[in-house]
Structure 1
Amino acid sequence: MAFISNPELRKRGQEVYAELYGGSHADEMTSEYNEKSSDFADMSLEWAIGGLFGRPGLDLKSREFVAFALCVADGRVQDAVLAHAEACIRAGATKREVYEVVLNTIWYVGAGGASLAFSTLKDFFADMEEA
């Protein structure tokens, strides 16, 4: 059965995607999604980005912090860690705030995920002044 598109969610998803992810590391992930399953790519764009990230109630920066923290906590999706770190910046966060989100995950999920995220984000944080 083919995925049935929702034009409103697709449009909103494309707008939010362009604002947060276009031209960044996330484009690689989107290409991989399309190679695996175009339906999966469409569902991600429409449901996750258009449907969830496009909802009122939280600003994009807050939504990105949540998504980023969950990716750090997961520990298996380092490409998403980098993509969401970049999106946090596009949504108005500072690198220091992104760094603090990683630190904040330690107490809830252990140091392993945070350590892995810091390794993934080494170049991302390279130009950040020491605290």
Structure 2
Amino acid sequence: MAQSVVDLGQRRYERGRQIVDKLDRDADDKVIAALSDIAPDFSRYIFEFAFGDIYSRPGLDLRSREIAAIASLAALGNASAQLRVQIEAAMNIGLDRDEIIGLIIQTAVYSGFPAAMNELLVAKEVFSARSRPLE
């Protein structure tokens, strides 16, 4: 018997949430809350497509995917909020400060120094926030 579109969507959503939980347990709730009053369906699209379809594809591990995400976002030079999330996720799965700094500096070759400088400042904010003791 063929599965319904709703069942397939739910499986994609659940698969996506499992991936997000590996990267940052709080991220899924933050995304849902941030979009709930303007576009609640958009968070579902993020979980289904970005994480349920793309991040769960075979061939790359989460570390490689986070490296690609950081490099892509840093090269854009205008996605600081998303870069912050990906740097947090990358650190949660084992990338260290030097690797992240190296990734962002590498993007300067292709995206230019202003974009890389801006994104290094984003990384600095994330590193600083992570080194503060919890209150």
User: Which of these residues, 81, 105, 111, is aligned with residue 109 of structure 1?
Assistant: 111
- Structure 2 unpaired stretches of 5+: 1-5
1:33, 1:77 → 2: CA distance?
Answer: 17
Q: Please report the RMSD computed on the Cα atoms of aligned residues, expressed in angstroms.
A: 2.1
Moved more, 52-61 or 84-93: 84-93
Cα displacement (A) at 1:30: 4.2
Q: Deviations over 1:13-62 (max 9, x none)?
A: 110111112225x7544432333312211011111011111111000011
TM-score, normalising length: structure 1:
0.83
Query: Counterpart in 2 of 1:20?
Result: 23
Report how many residues are paired.
124
Moved more, 15-24 or 44-53: 15-24
TM-score, normalising length: structure 2:
0.80
- Structure 1 unpaired stretches of 5+: none
Cα displacement (A) at 1:80: 0.9
- Which aligned pairs between 1:71-82 and structure 2 lie closer than 5 A? 71-82=73-84
Whichever of the two has the greater Rg, that structure is 2
2:32, 2:66 → 1: CA distance?
Answer: 17
Query: Counterpart in 2 of 1:93?
Result: 95
- Which aligned pairs between 1:1-131 and structure 2 lie closer than 5 A? 6-23=9-26, 27-126=29-128
SS in 2 for 1:121: helix
SS in 2 for 1:108: helix
Structure 2 CA distance for partners of 1:86 and 1:108, relative to 1, 3 Å: same
CA contact (8 A) 2:74 2:115 kept: yes
Structure with the bigger RCO (C-alpha within 8 Å, sep 6+) is 1
Identity %: 26
CA contact (8 A) 1:75 1:116 kept: yes
1:17, 1:123 → 2: CA distance?
Answer: 22
